[in-house]
Amino acid sequence: MLNVTKTIAAISTASGAGGIGVIRVSGPLALEIGQKISGGNLKPRIANFRSFKDLNGSLIDQGLILFFPGPNSFTGDDIIEFQCHGGSVVTQSVLDLCLKLNAVLAEPGEFSKRAYLNNKIDLAQAESIVDLINATTLEAAQSAANSLSGKFSLEINNLLKYLIELRMYVEACLDFPEEDIDFISEGKVEEKLQNLTETMSKIIRAASQGQLLRDGISLVLVGQPNVGKSSLLNQLSGENKAIVTDIPGTTRDAITSDINLKGIALNIIDTAGLRDTDDPIEKFGIEKTWSSLERGHIALFLVDANKGITEYEKAVLKRLPDEIKRIWVFNKIDLFKGKSKIEQLNSDQIVYMSAKTGDGLNLLKKAILKEVGFKENLEGSESKFIARKRHLEALENVHKSLQSAQLNMASAELVAEELTIAQKYLSSITGEFTSDDLLGEIFSQFCIGK
Ligand SMILES: Nc1nc2c(ncn2[C@@H]2O[C@H](COP(=O)(O)OP(=O)(O)O)[C@@H](O)[C@H]2O)c(=O)[nH]1
Ligand SMILES: [Mg+2]
């Protein structure tokens, strides 16, 4: 258990007027503070209805007070929760009173950090608290709830167990060479490694989905003026967000719209068409287009289907950032009564469609999901969980180490070394080998009171 001396307090509900406001206090002074404000005799885990009074005995509010004795509380320390009327004056008065009674104002995420440091939750679970709060789609919220309940951590811990067993196995060969037990040459290690690598691939697939659900995708519409970018934004969002005219250069400022595609938050950015212009406002817009491309995941490159890819598009292609994925949209097929379809051009997908009639819109959505590798139905047992870039990077490093162990089967030393590295990466996900800097960074993204 962590040696806690500080008692922290914060308003845990969002600011502004509301039905109720919650003030949370955690630490060794929590019970005493709760008793002083509410008049004492607090039954644990029971909603106690009380009058909350200040140090002069004046009434602040009437409400509920709850006492969760440690270690069976969210943080692992004693916790008091005041539920009073919402609104900034009442909640602030109760908080001020707690601070007068020697609590200190909690930092962002400090309650969750204590829960982590007291081993109530692991790091991946702590991270999923913020992801649950910030989720913008139901699917993202469900996946975060799964992670918070420990499903993701369980998968990681099972892998870890298997990995440690394997390591002991290999290290036994190193420690007792005279025993003549050469598991490696018997092929047992190879088989176990193979199993582990296969399970890893599955988890990486599920974690990539989880990362998409968490972070969403940003989609940038690019192409010549008048090719139909704003029309496509309107079709995708189902609203008349962007002005559509047949005058080239109509869109100057970037316009964005958020839609939900199978649970993934898609942020669509309509931009000024890329062309040489003397109009200073349009020039600014074009600069914005380029900077959106720097940050976007997918460029939807619109082309007039009648003209196909011209020198113009080839020139723009050369300037596109390397990291951005690309889907071609051959638009305005209605003008020649063409059929909507998806074609493959080398590694690029081409979607033939009409932004005006909406024909082919579903094909475009399919192409987007394919481009980011999103599978609608993960195979049966693969559970959904939220994941971050940090988790994915760790998983990929584990995978790399396992592969290089497989390539170095001739040397037990090298295999043992790779397995040790893999173990370290894997346990960084749940927080076993995590630096204070990283912890600081993770918990600073929380809101105060969580
Ligand atoms: N026939 C037809 N016209 C379209 C289509 N998409 C856009 N347009 C027209 O092309 C013109 C320019 O469209 P707009 O969306 O403003 O293009 P942007 O400059 O790329 O944003 C407008 O007159 C649209 O109605 C399409 O699929 N078919
Ligand atoms: Mg436009």
DSSP 65-129: EEEE-TTSSSSSS-EEEEEEE-SHHHHHHHHHHHHHTT-EEPPTTHHHHHHHHTTSS-HHHHHHH
- Choose one of 231, 257, 268, 306 to mutate for the ligand 1 pocket test, by most ligand atoms within 8 angstroms of C-beta: 231
Band the pLDDT of 250: cuts 50, 70, 90: confident
Which ligand 1 atom lies nearest to the CA of residue 251?
21
- Which ligand has the nearest atom to the CA of 226? 1
Atom 2 of ligand 1, nearest CA residue:
332
Other Cβ atoms less than 10 A from the Cβ of 258: the count is 13
Q: Write down the residue that tokens 């018997």 correspond to.
A: 186
> 324: helix, coil or strand?
coil
- How far does the centroid of ligand 1 lie from the alpha carbon of residue 246, in Å? 7
- Percent of the chain, pLDDT > 90? 63
- Domain coordinates of the chain in residue numbers? 8-121, 123-430
Q: Give the residue, 63 or 376, on which the prediction is more confident.
A: 63
pLDDT single digits (tens) 259-313: 999 889 999 998 887 777 778 777 877 888 888 888 889 999 999 999 999 998 8
> 219: helix, coil or strand?
strand
- How far does the centroid of ligand 1 lie from the alpha carbon of residue 368, in Å? 21
- How far does the centroid of ligand 1 lie from the alpha carbon of residue 319, in Å? 24
In whole angstroms, what is the distance from residue 226 CA to residue 207 CA?
Answer: 39
pLDDT single digits (tens) 313-370: 888 888 888 889 999 999 999 999 999 999 998 889 999 999 999 999 999 999 999 9
Structure tokens at 436: 């204070």
- Which ligand has the nearest atom to the CA of 231? 1
In whole angstroms, what is the distance from residue 39 CA to residue 429 CA?
Answer: 44
**Residue 228 CB–ligand 1 contact under 6 Å:** yes
Burial group, residue 93, by CB count within 10 angstroms (0-12, 13-18, 19+): middle
In whole angstroms, what is the distance from residue 94 CA to residue 80 CA?
Answer: 12
Apex 25 CA angle, 19 and 26, nearest 5: 140
Torsion of CA 284, 285, 286, 292, to 10 degrees: 110
Band the pLDDT of 243: cuts 50, 70, 90: confident
Which ligand 1 atom lies nearest to the CA of residue 221?
20
Structure tokens at 184: 């490696």
Apex 204 CA angle, 202 and 207, nearest 5: 110
In whole angstroms, what is the distance from residue 287 CA to residue 289 CA?
Answer: 5
In whole angstroms, what is the distance from residue 232 CA to residue 253 CA?
Answer: 16
Which ligand 1 atom lies nearest to the CA of residue 357?
27
DSSP β-ladder status, 20-26 and 48-53: unpaired
Among 78-92, 247-261, 327-341, where is mean pLDDT lowest? Answer: 247-261
pLDDT single digits (tens) 127-175: 999 999 999 899 899 999 999 999 999 999 999 999 998 888 888 777 7
Cβ < 5 A residues, ion ligand 2: 229-230, 251
- How far does the centroid of ligand 2 lie from the alpha carbon of residue 179, in Å? 75
Long-range contacts formed by 88-91: CB under 8 A, 24+ apart:
88/15, 88/16, 88/17, 90/21, 90/60, 90/61, 91/11, 91/13, 91/21, 91/22, 91/23
Homologous superfamily (CATH) of 8-121 is Probable tRNA modification gtpase trme; domain 1 (3.30.1360.120)
Which ligand 1 atom lies nearest to the CA of residue 270?
21
Question: Is the fold of 8-121 the same as that of 123-430?
Answer: no
Find, among 150, 24, 11, 22, the residue nearest to 77 by Cα.
24
The pLDDT of residue 185: 62
- Percent of the chain, pLDDT > 70? 95
Burial group, residue 373, by CB count within 10 angstroms (0-12, 13-18, 19+): exposed
**Residue 390 CB–ligand 1 contact under 6 Å:** no
Among 61-65, 264-268, 420-424, 442-446, where is mean pLDDT lowest? Answer: 442-446
Amino acid at 254: A
Q: Which of 23-32, 246-255, 429-438 has the highest mean pLDDT?
A: 23-32
Residue-by-residue DSSP string for 285-300: HHHHHHHHHHH-SEEE
**Residue 218 CB–ligand 1 contact under 6 Å:** no
**Residue 334 CB–ligand 1 contact under 6 Å:** yes
Q: Residue 179 pLDDT more than 70? A: no
- The count of residues in the chain is 450
Which ligand 1 atom lies nearest to the CA of residue 232?
15
- How far does the centroid of ligand 2 lie from the alpha carbon of residue 373, in Å? 29
Q: Give the residue, 30 or 321, on which the prediction is more confident.
A: 30
Q: Does domain 123-430 have CATH number 3.20.20.30?
A: no
- How far does the centroid of ligand 1 lie from the alpha carbon of residue 251, in Å? 12
In whole angstroms, what is the distance from residue 248 CA to residue 227 CA?
Answer: 9
- How far does the centroid of ligand 2 lie from the alpha carbon of residue 267, in Å? 17
The pLDDT of residue 381: 45
The pLDDT of residue 295: 83
Atom 7 of ligand 1, nearest CA residue:
228
Other Cβ atoms less than 10 A from the Cβ of 174: the count is 12
* Mean per-residue pLDDT of the chain: 89
